[in-house]
């Protein structure tokens, strides 16, 4: 069966070129891991955009509630991760870059997921203003690509020290291409757990 495309009307052409009203919600190849591209209004004064809109999120099935906002400053070559919090203190994170750029990585640690152990990498920058939602059940980390990078994230759960965990950033089984061999890291992150011995509680 051959499907012949119909010719678009002038009205349809205009609609297809129209930018999303508020935000573009993009599904990745890993379930529940979401890319969000806001509509940015720019002129000679600068720019404006909505970095979060509860109604738009809920209309797209993103009904999580955020309870804590975090922000970090890092110099080029700093790597933080791969972090997570175990249930019942698991965190979802809506992350973005305010200044600079990062290579952002999420690893699926949901043991019954068909993509368990798979990672997704995305570049978040001050220029592209892209946001990334990392839901509970994922380990998360990022590498700063520029000096004075300011990284911001909204969390669905407050920090809980007893529930925090860390998977080794350069684990051979995960095989994440960070593009760096010797990043600047905390001692705690350098002691992250190997994925082969990791027992997921998700």
- Residues with a known catalytic role: 83, 153
Q: How many CA atoms lie within 13 A of 166 on its CB side?
A: 18
Of 91, 88, 38, give the one whose Cα is nearest residue 68.
91
Q: Classify 11 as helix, strand or coil.
A: helix
CB half-sphere exposure, 148, CA atoms < 13 A: 1
Strands 79-85 and 164-166: antiparallel
8 Å CB contact between 154 and 131: no
What are the tokens at 80? 């933080």
């Amino acid at each position: 069966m051959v499907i012949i495309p119909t010719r678009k009307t002038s009205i349809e052409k205009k609609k297809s070129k129209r930018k999303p009203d508020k935000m573009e919600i993009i599904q990745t190849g890993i379930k529940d891991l979401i890319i969000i591209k806001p509509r940015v209004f720019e002129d000679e004064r600068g720019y404006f955009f909505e970095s979060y809109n509860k109604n738009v999120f809920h209309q797209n099935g993103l009904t999580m509630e955020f309870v804590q906002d975090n922000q970090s400053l890092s110099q080029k070559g700093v790597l933080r991760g791969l972090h997570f919090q175990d249930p019942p203190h698991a965190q979802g994170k809506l992350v973005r870059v305010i200044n600079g750029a990062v290579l952002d990585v999420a690893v699926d640690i949901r043991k019954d997921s068909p993509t368990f152990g798979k990672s997704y990498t995305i570049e978040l920058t001050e220029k592209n203003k892209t946001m990334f939602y990392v839901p509970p059940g994922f380990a998360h980390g990022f590498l700063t690509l520029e000096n004075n990078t300011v990284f911001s994230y909204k969390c669905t759960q407050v920090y809980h020290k007893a529930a925090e965990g860390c998977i080794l950033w350069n684990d051979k089984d995960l095989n994440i291409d960070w593009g760096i061999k010797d990043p600047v890291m905390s001692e705690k992150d350098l002691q992250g757990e190997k994925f082969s011995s990791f027992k997921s509680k998700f």
